[in-house]
Amino acid sequence: MKLLTSLLILIQFTIYSQSLTIEGIVVDEFDMPLSGTNIYSVEENYGTITNKKGMFKIIVKNDKSIFKVSYLGYKEEIMDFKKLKKNNVKIVLKTFENTLEDVVISSIPIPDLLKNIVKESKKRIKKSVILTTYNREILKTDSAYSYFADGISIYNLKGNRKKIKAKLYHKESRLIKGNESTDYYKLMKSNPFGYNIKKEVKKAFKNNMLLKSIYKYSEDYDFTLKTKIYNDSLTLNTVEFTPLNKKGFTFKGYVTYDTKTNLILEYYIKKASNKIEDNTGIESKLLTFNIYDIEQKVSFRIEKGNYILVYKKDYQNVYIGNILGKKFNTKYSFYSDLFVLKYEEKEFNIKNQENFKYENLLSYGNDYKDAFWNNNSIVKSEEEQKFINSIKN
């Protein structure tokens, strides 16, 4: 019995000792934080990203892990655990020494070029791909926190030249409620501003309606195509777009893609004007709403020939007056983040898809076994952490 007890203690100690935490910040050569930097273990194919202040936290199983730290346009750093094991480690990413940048005159119209790279990126999903993701939703009502929800979801993607299919298995979730209104929660649970957790990964690869609207309504935009050559080893092109008319509901942003593969590596879209007269919406007896702002950022990486989603961020700021005569008269700010913890090419073994029941994490509530948010999640801002600490679950 003593031998068995000793063995169990040894096993528990071994498991505990192999859960190793690394915390730190990623900055550039000017000590500016790099938000959205990808940090992942090569052996475990498991990773995280930095928050707005460049901060990160990653937990791995053993001290043999080799890490890649990458940010678009900077030299990739490869580091072992020994270099990262210090508390509050600072990782400095450097720019390439011989970078050439130039404006390019495209042989085909830039809107057609955009359309082509969107199609090419979509076609890369052919095998069965499993993505373990960390998702979160944050909603503010009139600038006050209404809820903070996060969770672990597993996606299975399969694609062909015409269509991408996505299945989702909801694993764990956490919900922290702030100010609560029965009518408001009914509205949010039904569908917060078109957000659907099942469709978010698929929309990233299909490059949803915001990006498509840029080349679809190309007559409204001015396009610039720039190329960057990094040490003669990597060439990236960036399409920048701004509205021709400074008035109206239009967007600004960019799309960066790899010239060898024509695969999108990052795109960013934001409402071009913050003037009230440039908002859009509907005003009637049955429905009144106004869109103040929209922002979206999606990034990918190419690893060993695989096209991997890294991060997807969405932000919407809207005013809802009434829905079917029900008065709200409230300004809502909705944030969502999704990043890929782990990428695998294999078949999805989970037969029962009943764990996907709802369109958002709010509806799942608190449904977890482990404190998953202490592992490889996005490091929370001071404001977010303050709100979480103020609520007793």
DSSP string over 54-73:
SEEEEEES-TT-EEEEE-TT
CA distance 95 to 29: 8
Report the pLDDT value the prediction gives residue 242, as an integer from 0 to 100: 95
154-170 pLDDT tens trace: 998 887 666 777 788 88
Highest mean pLDDT among 5-14, 34-43, 59-68, 116-125: 34-43
User: Domain check: are 317 and 344 in the same one?
Assistant: yes
Report the pLDDT value the prediction gives residue 10, as an integer from 0 to 100: 36
User: Domain check: are 275 and 319 in the same one?
Assistant: yes
330 lies in which domain range?
A: 100-145+178-361+379-390
Residue ending a domain, among 69, 95, 121, is 95
Any idea which of 95-109, 179-193, 378-392 has the lowest mean pLDDT? 179-193
Task: With a cut of 60, say whether residue 8 has pLDDT above it.
Answer: no
Over the range 153-163, which residues count as b (16 or more CB within 10 Å of their CB) and which as e?
bbbbbbbeeee
Residue ending a domain, among 74, 95, 116, is 95
| Residue 372 domain flag | no
Counting residues of the chain whose pLDDT is more than 90, the rounded percentage is 36
User: Domain check: are 26 and 129 in the same one?
Assistant: no
CA distance 325 to 12: 59
Task: With a cut of 80, say whether residue 18 has pLDDT above it.
Answer: no
Any idea which of 12-21, 74-83, 287-296, 342-351 has the lowest mean pLDDT? 12-21
| Residue 10 domain flag | no
User: Domain check: are 383 and 269 in the same one?
Assistant: yes
Report the pLDDT value the prediction gives residue 173, as an integer from 0 to 100: 93
Report the pLDDT value the prediction gives residue 16, as an integer from 0 to 100: 38
Task: With a cut of 70, say whether residue 320 has pLDDT above it.
Answer: yes
Confidence of residue 188 (pLDDT cuts 50, 70, 90): low
| Residue 7 domain flag | no
Any idea which of 124-128, 141-145, 187-191 has the lowest mean pLDDT? 187-191
Any idea which of 110-119, 150-159, 178-187 has the lowest mean pLDDT? 178-187
User: Domain check: are 121 and 61 in the same one?
Assistant: no
The rounded Cα 162 to chain-centroid distance in angstroms is: 24
Q: How many domains does the chain have?
A: 2
| Residue 173 domain flag | no
Q: Which residues pair with 289 in a beta bridge?
A: 282, 320
Q: Which two tokens stand for residue 382?
A: 């001071």
User: Domain check: are 117 and 85 in the same one?
Assistant: no
Report the pLDDT value the prediction gives residue 317, as an integer from 0 to 100: 93
Report the pLDDT value the prediction gives residue 14, as an integer from 0 to 100: 40
359-370 pLDDT tens trace: 888 888 899 988
Higher pLDDT, residue 2 or 307:
307
| Residue 210 domain flag | yes
Among 204, 173, 156, 209, smallest CA distance to 360 is for: 173
| Residue 48 domain flag | yes
Mean pLDDT of the chain: 84
Determine contact, residues 107/119, Cβ cutoff 8 Å: no
Mean pLDDT of 29-52: 89
CATH, residue 40: 2.60.40.1120
User: Domain check: are 48 and 116 in the same one?
Assistant: no
User: Domain check: are 343 and 245 in the same one?
Assistant: yes
| Residue 323 domain flag | yes
Query: Which spans in the chain are helix H?
Result: 2-17, 81-84, 110-123, 182-190, 200-206, 209-216, 382-390
| Residue 318 domain flag | yes
User: Domain check: are 72 and 104 in the same one?
Assistant: no
Confidence of residue 13 (pLDDT cuts 50, 70, 90): very low
Confidence of residue 37 (pLDDT cuts 50, 70, 90): very high
Confidence of residue 355 (pLDDT cuts 50, 70, 90): low
Mean pLDDT of 260-270: 93
Residue ending a domain, among 95, 128, 157, is 95
Confidence of residue 177 (pLDDT cuts 50, 70, 90): confident
Distance, first Cα to last Cα, the chain: 40
- Please tell me the number of Cα atoms within 13 Å of 245 on its side-chain side: 9
Highest mean pLDDT among 10-19, 42-51, 186-195, 335-344: 335-344
User: Domain check: are 91 and 194 in the same one?
Assistant: no
To the nearest 5 percent, what fractions of the chain are helix, strand and coil? Answer: 20, 45, 30
Higher pLDDT, residue 327 or 30:
30
Task: With a cut of 90, say whether residue 42 has pLDDT above it.
Answer: no
Which amino acid, one-letter code, is at 353? Q
- Please tell me the number of Cα atoms within 13 Å of 281 on its side-chain side: 22
User: Domain check: are 34 and 106 in the same one?
Assistant: no
* Coil, strand or helix at 77: strand
User: Domain check: are 44 and 121 in the same one?
Assistant: no
Q: What are phi and psi of 59, to 5 degrees?
A: -115, 125
Task: With a cut of 80, say whether residue 181 has pLDDT above it.
Answer: no
Any idea which of 17-21, 98-102, 237-241 has the lowest mean pLDDT? 17-21
Beta carbons within 8 Å of 144's beta carbon, 6+ residues apart: 178, 179
Task: With a cut of 80, say whether residue 277 has pLDDT above it.
Answer: yes
